Structure 1
């Protein structure tokens, strides 16, 4: 595909979004073009004497991860994550998530080609927070989340951004596998499906990447995954409790009081988890802001269907090619049947 056509495609994809303003169009196109313009091929950086040695060592591992993604995991063989972009900021984009005051169902924004998603991205943190404030004034619960990387679903050669270069190896590998999984399979209008599929590929990929290469790192990652799983289970349990609350015939003041109490209990239950972990505080940052439905909605988008995809991989005998084929077939089902099938997989995954 000619580069000129690819730039045009991005412009159309961004400009023709529903319910957006000219300012949003401008920041989307400008931010993406700036990111693409900051890319440098990793092989070129490895040969450049001005590249700091610590960065070279990390980029050498990235090259190996990227090769493994294709050869070991069957993920797309293209130029994504074969370049590096030094950005000088803590996130690539900031994602706005919103939910009604008494619902855990996230607001949807619809885009040409990729369909609807439960988030809206900004390359400026200030722009994201300004838009979030507008939604709050309209009565929405809102979260603004820093996003360290994003996928263009294969339309562009996505770089590895500097926002993640200092992460532990397992996390860098997981991000590469996760974003390439979006290029492997993406279903329009189903954020929960897409993110759970990519999260499962990420988890399985990291396990296979570390196994035999660095058993100590694998043990640390498995402990991290165990804690993360317990934390997510806690969030999803509170999300379900809120969902049941919002279905009750209560007046708004009573509903609001009970909602606030459930979020207080979430903080208390997290402190109990920390005690079980010997004081490990890796999720403290999640509680550094006022909690609301939007934060829980964002977690559910990424995690709710992961056990269903784990079951699908198990049914494929651990074969990733078979798993991809089964996931693609699942994604081609009409939405009601797809959800029904996922629910069945979820039930089968329960011990």
Structure 2
């Protein structure tokens, strides 16, 4: 009797393994990549005590500890064991993410993962495998985008390390990043990626502004420079989001009889117009914003496609919603607002 049961279970396991071999292979690759990083981290105390590491690196690590304490004490994020270890990348990227979209609709391609739900992006610790998947998506006629990722959250399943690439960021951007990822570890709703990413962006930027004001003062050059960057970024966001609306309106005019060549011509012309008019954005402080022109040049090197625009919707579409809810319903009391969110929405 027991032999029959065990044999039956083994047969079912083999069938499932064959049926889901790609998912199992992907999961194994991701597990290997994550474990390789965790295995090769060092406690930050050891790094700080090591005279071989430069003082500039140590100051950034200490700054991350400040940011983390601020996020927990002043913002209300959950205590976390993350960012207590350090991983040296030696200048090499370690994670790549793919996004994809239908070519004539702003509809993101979705990937499903057991327990975690659906995502409109997929990460890879192996670049060749990411490129292979991107090529397959292109064969299906999808617009794709692949990019390096400088940080991610394991949602509290592991203690995320400080990556050496993080330390290259200026203070404000570093604070944004750390608070963004700690937000994921505090509240992450299954099958609601757009909500999760928009919330983490909102909390990251709000928290960074508060941290910068507290540490440097609102009259400091450091704070004013960061505020100028944020002002420009908000205008850039609004510009791109308006662009998604014009693209969506254009795509709705396409009928089943519209030739593909005509669809592509109109789509390309519209995206070119969106990119070219970025030059009209300014906040009146061009010297402070000069580094941000790199972003505009990058977009010109390769014309964005729908994957870029649906990615923007994933991260930026709901910013005004969170801002209005925070200011109008909770009178700017962030701890009370975030407590409300944690009580209202079940987290993984």
- The TM-score, its normalising length taken from structure 1, stands at 0.84
Name 1:6's counterpart in structure 2.
none
Deviation (angstroms), 1:41: 1.5
Q: Please show how residues 105-116 of structure 1 align to structure 2 within 5 Å.
A: 105-116=107-118
CA contact (8 A) 1:245 1:255 kept: no
> What's the CA shift for 1:226?
1.0
Aligned counterpart, 1:246: 251
Q: Does the 8 A contact of 1:99 with 1:106 survive in 2? A: yes
1:140 aligns with 2:142: yes
Please give the secondary structure, in 2, of the residue aligned with 1:213: helix
* 1:69 equivalent in alignment to 2:71: yes
Number of aligned residue pairs:
319
Distance 1:247 1:181 in 2: 36
Alignment of 1:38-77 (within 5 A): 38-77=40-79
- In the alignment, the residues of structure 1 paired with residue 269 and residue 44 of structure 2 have an alpha-carbon distance, to the nearest angstrom, of 50
Paired residues of 1:69 and 1:177 also in contact (CA < 8 A)? yes
Larger Rg: 2
Alpha-carbon deviation of 1:188? 0.7
C-alpha distance in structure 2 between counterparts of 1:83 and 1:306, whole Å: 32
Q: Tell me, what secondary structure is at the counterpart of 2:60?
A: helix
Give the counterpart of 2:342 among 310, 320, 328: 328
SS where residue 156 of structure 2 aligns? coil
Task: List per-residue Cα deviations over 1:218-265 (Å, max 9, x = no partner).
Answer: 111111011111111111111111111111243133222110110110
Say if 2:275 is the partner of 1:261. Answer: no
Deviation string 1:188-238 (CA, Å, 9 cap, x unpaired) is 111110011111110111111011422322111111011111111111111
CA distance in 2, matches of 1:80, 1:276: 39
| Aligned equivalent of 1:224 | 229
Unpaired runs of 5+ in structure 1? 1-14, 334-351
Root-mean-square deviation (CA), in Å?
2.4
**Could you tell me which residue of structure 2 aligns to residue 236 of structure 1?**
241
Q: Indicate how the Cα distance of structure 1 residues 90 and 31 shifts in structure 2: closer, same or farther if over 3 A, else same.
A: same
Is the contact made by 1:91 and 1:149 (CA closer than 8 Å) also made in structure 2? no
Q: What is the Cα deviation at residue 134 of structure 1?
A: 1.4
| Of 275, 280, 298, the match for 1:272 | 280
Moved more, 248-257 or 78-87: 248-257
CA contact (8 A) 2:99 2:108 kept: yes
Whole-angstrom CA distance in 2 between matches of 1:329 and 1:59: 32
2:325 is matched with which residue? Answer: 312
Q: Does the 8 Å CA contact 1:90/1:148 hold for their aligned counterparts?
A: no
Aligned to 1:343: none
- Given that 2:272 and 2:303 are in contact with CA atoms closer than 8 Å, whether structure 1 keeps it comes out as no
Q: Which residue of 2 aligns with 1:282?
A: 294
Query: Which residue is 1:194 aligned to?
Result: 196
| Counterpart secondary structure, 1:110 | strand
Deviating beyond 3 angstroms after TM superposition, the runs of 4 or more aligned structure 1 residues are 15-23, 89-92, 274-280, 328-333
Following superposition, the deviation at residue 303 of structure 1 comes to: 0.4
Structure 1 pair 113–23 and aligned structure 2 pair: CA distance change class (3 A): closer
Q: Distance in 2 between matches of 1:216 and 1:16?
A: 59
1:302 counterpart = 2:315: yes
* CA 20–321 in structure 1, closer or farther in 2 if over 3 Å, else same: farther
Map residues 97-108 of structure 1 onto 2, 5 A cutoff. Answer: 97-108=99-110
Of the three residues 284, 293, 313, the one matched with 2:306 is 293
Please list the CA deviations of residues 132-183 of structure 1 after superposition, one character each: whole Å capped at 9, or x if unmatched. Answer: 1111111000000211100000010001111111110111111110000011
How far, CA to CA, are the matches of 1:16 and 1:302 in structure 2? 35
Matches of 1:44 and 1:129, distance apart in 2:
37
Question: How many Å apart are 1:320 and its aligned residue?
Answer: 2.2
Q: Which moved more, 1:62-71 or 1:197-206?
A: 62-71
2-side partners of 1:106 and 1:16: how far apart?
Answer: 28
